Structure 1
């Protein structure tokens, strides 16, 4: 048994084969919602040597479904993984809303594994109704303690190309995510704090000016001076791209990490000469640990 993937050419309606995986894909929930079947149960029946219990001719698509992967990643920083402890976790609900997740309040999102926290799925009679239902569900989904991809999903769902159905794989690269804020105001030193109120089961976010002297009113610079390049997260150092004595420009890649199944590059924070390389490939590094010094 396997999941078969195809690519659709919207110009002429042709399908092109991509691959077969001997497992269910993350997107299998879309098939379940649109066809009204349980693919996990079907997979278990096949593994037990039993027939599927239905044939393709018996399946009729109904309505539209959308899935958003809620990952512990910061979309304002190039979708940099953000492992950590979930301090607040409240799922959306209502007709046509489904959440598949193994996390809850107080759980730790590890840095060594996939960053997926939850799959948020909606189903409705029309595509526009499904889109609006997803926007409402994203607004009600409250996850704090780690960054999430929720803001990126909201921007994409409101993008004009997505709304009229003309979007492509390049839509996100074409400016759809340009409006992403550079971190949560409660932690980025912008002088604002947030409060979350529950009104009849719905999360309502309020923003207000930070009090003088409060923790969120101070900007935190991990690693100190601009000549210190620090690890942006917990992970394993895959590569060191510079050596002592090398000259670099601000923004040049100096190292590659492996964290949460991703390989983010760590860039030089200033132009100058490498004076110290403080970690080696294979080292497990902590967030804000100094990797390289530049003068």
Structure 2
């Protein structure tokens, strides 16, 4: 490629969504890294889908028409279909506003260079790149995350399929955290809200097996190891509970939380769909307002902070004592100036 500096134009709304993904997936502030990952990781699927549409459009046109015209028309219709999900959210007066973006192809990025060389003759390179990005953005966020972190995902999926241990390096700002961890991967799960992907895994903590979960975007590197994984029935049950309540919260005990909602509290629990809502167990009773939950302690505290004045924790005793202490600290804080 004669010029390694690539310039293309992207709808301003689409550009804003790319920036949002960059932030949501905790990626480098260098925007070109995400752009290049999208092109390389998503092009095969995007090309397959666009080719099906392209061929379908051509098949509907009469064979007597000029073939060059058919090719150009097919490309423009295909491009329109790729852009329509973006344009429908754009205010009419800004409909044709485009942002100018750049990225540079480095010497070791041969796959990226090859993809760009496959730009259709009936389209500009800018249109070709934009069509890939528009198609990518038409996917829900958790699918986009899987596209961006395709390489890491494939290694983890292979390890899960073959029941192999994995050594991972996680992105973290915490000090004194090991750079690499050896883990037993169990499953890649999507959060109940269908926003992020999480890896469920087991690891040894002070000689004891515990469950964990980690954002897919937080896995910086993953290596397959030759050893096999094993999971006890207890650990498998913890995974099952995590998947039901919220895979982002690790569970490593058998605590059941028993609470009594007030009438208003029960209405709020039933009607308000807060994110990360734990699922009530089957023996919960709407008539009495007594509900049971088997989520993690952190999950319970995070979610039910919305309900502390509209519910009473009946069990376990430790949670009652925690809330009593919390209430007393609030009394002390707010009463000193009254």
Coarse TM-score class (shorter-chain normalised): under 0.3
TM-score (norm 1): 0.24
Q: Structure 2-normalised TM-score?
A: 0.22
Name the structure with the higher strand share.
1
